[in-house]
Structure 1
Amino acid sequence: MHRRETVLHRPALLFSVVLAAIFLVFTNAFGADSALKAHDYKMAGDAQYTRIVVHFDRKPDFRWFLLRDPSRLVIDLPPTDFSFDPFELRPRGLVAAVQYGAVDAQRARLVFRAVGPFSVEKAEVKENETSDGFRLIIELRASSTEAFDAALRASMLKPETEARLEAPSRAQDRFTVALDPGHGGADGGARGVNGTVEKQITLLFSLELAKKLEETGLYRVVLTREDDRFLRLDERVRIAREKGADLFVSVHADAIAVRSVRGATVYTVSDKASDAEAAATAARENLSDEIAGKVPEEEQDEVEDILVDLIRRETHAFSIRFARTLIGKLSDTVQLVKNPHRYAGFRVLRAPDIPSVLLELGYLSNPKDEAQLRDPAWRAATMDAIIEAVGYFAKANGGARG
């Protein structure tokens, strides 16, 4: 899978240009002139048979494949500008949900999540008879789990899998911090009560934090993304490992139904969640991979399993240590939730050899938290607290860990 290298050796060189563009690009990741245009979407049918028609301004090149848990049909397209009527996207027939958007600079994607197993009876492009353009016709029919699994094997793509325990490069002489702006591309994340989009505010915050970290002269900074692109959770981890990160901080801003809840939270990984809200948050964040599909895990022999377990145990202890340090520094500046250190099964925190935390800066569902996230002064004060925590952690661990 194509991915542009995203190490930010000197954030200040890119900062002013990228920062100015962040809030100008909200939904489309491609140039409007060159992109394919998907301008109409229709769906009809019932729980046994569903027909989907997508209209384009020109003939689209596409490929499709299936994913399971849940059952999904994925359509890959070239760069595409989507302008669908949200009303037409509501659940209907075999389709429980529709997602669409940019995957990276070369691809866009349509994902149809089904209510159960299905077969693809038709997936073809036809030229319109009475108007300009082309239409993609998809016909789905309910099927058995066995039939779906057989079709899935036939259509299966083999995405890149996470490198296991190859030694990452640690040639640098500075403590390396990997910043992971949550969500991106087709995965917008949460949306605030006043319209703030999580993928945009996390990128803005991470770029600003990267600049401030680099300006200290003490740290090397790696960004998993520098623009509005989709990355699988395992890709985010792999970028950090390949670039020899000593610390991984995934930046998020959540939203929940109870608008009165506000404050920052620091999460670490655990197979058992600290509480129901932590479990729900991890489940929401892990759904990011629905855009690309579930990535199959590689098999490991028993010796490697033992080695991974030993390394994970050590790394987990470092993660908890940094989480507590970060909470201590944030508490003087930022409102925190009750019991601010929580833990659950976050896939993005599963690097076996990098201490990792997920920082929820606040709740976009709360007007006060949303306003703070949009306030440059609040962001700057929060970043200063984070930089203090990073400095304390780096010094306590002899600079670069390992």
Structure 2
Amino acid sequence: MLKLTARLLLPVLCVLAVMAHAQTAPEPLIAYAARIAGDDARTRVVIDFDRKPEFSLHYTAQPNRLIIDLGETAFGFSEDDLKAIGLFSEIRYGRMGEGASRIVLTARRPTRAVLAEVQPNEPGKGFRLVLDCEVISEPALQALVAEQKWVGAEKVAGGKTDRIATTPEPAADNKFLIAIDAGHGGIDAGAKGTLTKIEEKAVTLDFATTLAARLNKEKGIKAFLTRDKDEFISLSERVVIARQRGAQLFISLHADTLRQKDIRGATIYTISDKASDALAAGLAERENLSDGIAGVEIADEPTEVTDILLDLTRRETQAFSIRMAETVLDSFDGQIGLINNPLRHAGFRVLQAPDVPSVLLELGFLSNPKDELLLTDPEWREKVSDLLAEAIGKYMESAGVARGG
């Protein structure tokens, strides 16, 4: 009787525990208003919060940036309310991972905050973060950066994604594992549509979710997302997530913009030390800036590896990556619009796993109105996902992968 009672009580206790956790979990801060004023010598930034925020301020040089780290924050003000003027050429803000958000102010000239403090608003209106900034000399900024204890590589406390495992995960029932990487996220919004103003990070996440769901209907395939919400994940972390979960294929999804508004259609890229053309080089350069946009220091690339076994692995991986790219293009041909010479290559940091075949798929360009309409169309996402599932099946056959599971 005692065992039966315990068995009946266990689900109730579990529900109560979940409810207790939900009640104790802190609610995100709400940044409900913002304003900015100033000139090229002095600029003030004010952000209103629903309650008192805890923050820290850091600096980087070349590019000159002021970085404000906060607890998890919902930014509810209009983008136009914090449009870069005066000392600042660009202002970005967003989530950096679980429990953390960040504001990155890129300055046109060496700049420091002479005032950075939280002040109370009138009763019932919360608090405001006030940042008064002024221009300083280059040596003064260098000294400021050298003196601070924080460095960008340390990131935000709590801002690491929980998808980074401490030990590699076991294979899932012998299924073919595919990592679907939704480009950008959180503070790194990516490109923006010309018609709907939709951000690239939303387009890629919508498509990644659709694609993963479609692939998980296929026998012998298991797809997972490197990010499943609007959060920032560094380029190197995306690669680590894929490798630690045992991915056998990595697909990174993007929808960039170009100055030439008439260019439209899909493109697929593989990694290479030398870009295939100027368009590929420019795109790789922009995509590789994602970490810098979020205020994360980019670590130096490792020196050339001389291990012959690793070199052979890289070559084999590159051959499989090209095979995958060619299979996708065969599947898209006549079904999905492609740019001229749709198979290209460049030095994308997100494609650098030495042992995981990896491709970057530009679904289209948000700078082209026709592409933008397709990229935001659920039916088009379903169609492209079907074609990608077909291409992956053919790739598996050509690579001699059995459909287990």
Of all paired residues, the percent bearing the same amino acid is: 46
Check the 8 A contact 1:174/1:399 in 2, yes or no.
no
The aligned counterpart of 1:18 is none
Deviations 1:66-86 (A, max 9, x none): 234412111111232324454
Cα distance in 1, alignment partners of residues 171 and 128 from structure 2: 52
The aligned counterpart of 1:380 is 382
The aligned counterpart of 2:171 is 171
Instruction: Indicate whether 1:42 and 2:35 are aligned.
Output: yes
Among 106, 113, 126, the residue aligned to 1:113: 106
Instruction: Indicate whether 1:100 and 2:93 are aligned.
Output: yes
The aligned counterpart of 2:356 is 354
Amino acid at match of 1:182: G
Among 221, 224, 227, the residue aligned to 1:225: 227
Check the 8 A contact 1:169/1:243 in 2, yes or no.
yes
Structure 1-normalised TM-score? 0.80
Check the 8 A contact 1:192/1:365 in 2, yes or no.
yes
Aligned residues between the structures? 365
Instruction: For residue 341 of structure 1, report the CA deviation from its aligned partner.
Output: 0.8
Cα distance in 2, alignment partners of residues 383 and 283 from structure 1: 27
Cα distance in 2, alignment partners of residues 262 and 256 from structure 1: 9
Cα distance in 2, alignment partners of residues 169 and 131 from structure 1: 49
The aligned counterpart of 2:58 is 65
Instruction: For residue 168 of structure 1, report the CA deviation from its aligned partner.
Output: 5.1
The aligned counterpart of 1:13 is none
Amino acid at match of 1:36: L
Among 258, 265, 280, the residue aligned to 2:282: 280
CA gap of 1:225–1:117, structure 2 versus 1, over 3 A, is same
Instruction: For residue 189 of structure 1, report the CA deviation from its aligned partner.
Output: 2.4
Check the 8 A contact 1:183/1:288 in 2, yes or no.
yes
CA gap of 1:300–1:85, structure 2 versus 1, over 3 A, is closer
The residue matched to 1:358 in structure 2 has which SS?
Answer: strand
The aligned counterpart of 1:89 is 82
The residue matched to 2:289 in structure 1 has which SS?
Answer: helix
Amino acid at match of 2:99: Q
Deviations 1:88-141 (A, max 9, x none): 433333211111122234122111001133333332222246884322222333
Among 147, 151, 159, the residue aligned to 1:156: 151
Check the 8 A contact 2:152/2:297 in 1, yes or no.
no
Check the 8 A contact 1:268/1:357 in 2, yes or no.
yes
The aligned counterpart of 1:127 is 120
Cα distance in 2, alignment partners of residues 134 and 358 from structure 1: 43
The aligned counterpart of 2:8 is none
The aligned counterpart of 2:315 is 313
Cα distance in 2, alignment partners of residues 37 and 157 from structure 1: 25
The residue matched to 2:145 in structure 1 has which SS?
Answer: helix
The aligned counterpart of 1:14 is none
Cα distance in 1, alignment partners of residues 60 and 308 from structure 2: 31
The aligned counterpart of 2:11 is none
Check the 8 A contact 1:248/1:357 in 2, yes or no.
yes
Instruction: Indicate whether 1:56 and 2:49 are aligned.
Output: yes
Deviations 1:210-232 (A, max 9, x none): 12211112112121111222222
Deviations 1:189-222 (A, max 9, x none): 2233331432223222222221221111211212
Instruction: Indicate whether 1:241 and 2:236 are aligned.
Output: no
Check the 8 A contact 1:265/1:362 in 2, yes or no.
yes
Amino acid at match of 1:97: E
Amino acid at match of 1:176: L
Among 328, 338, 343, the residue aligned to 1:326: 328
The aligned counterpart of 2:20 is none
Counterparts of 1:290-305 in structure 2 under 5 Å? Answer: 290-297=292-299
Amino acid at match of 2:292: E
Cα distance in 1, alignment partners of residues 152 and 378 from structure 2: 43
CA gap of 1:319–1:93, structure 2 versus 1, over 3 A, is same
| RMSD, aligned CA | 3.0
CA gap of 1:78–1:305, structure 2 versus 1, over 3 A, is farther
The aligned counterpart of 2:181 is 180
Check the 8 A contact 1:222/1:243 in 2, yes or no.
no
Instruction: For residue 149 of structure 1, report the CA deviation from its aligned partner.
Output: 3.5
Cα distance in 1, alignment partners of residues 212 and 301 from structure 2: 36
Amino acid at match of 2:259: A
Instruction: For residue 392 of structure 1, report the CA deviation from its aligned partner.
Output: 2.3
Query: Which blocks of at least 5 consecutive residues in structure 2 are unaligned?
Result: 1-25
Counterparts of 1:14-53 in structure 2 under 5 Å? Answer: 34-53=27-46
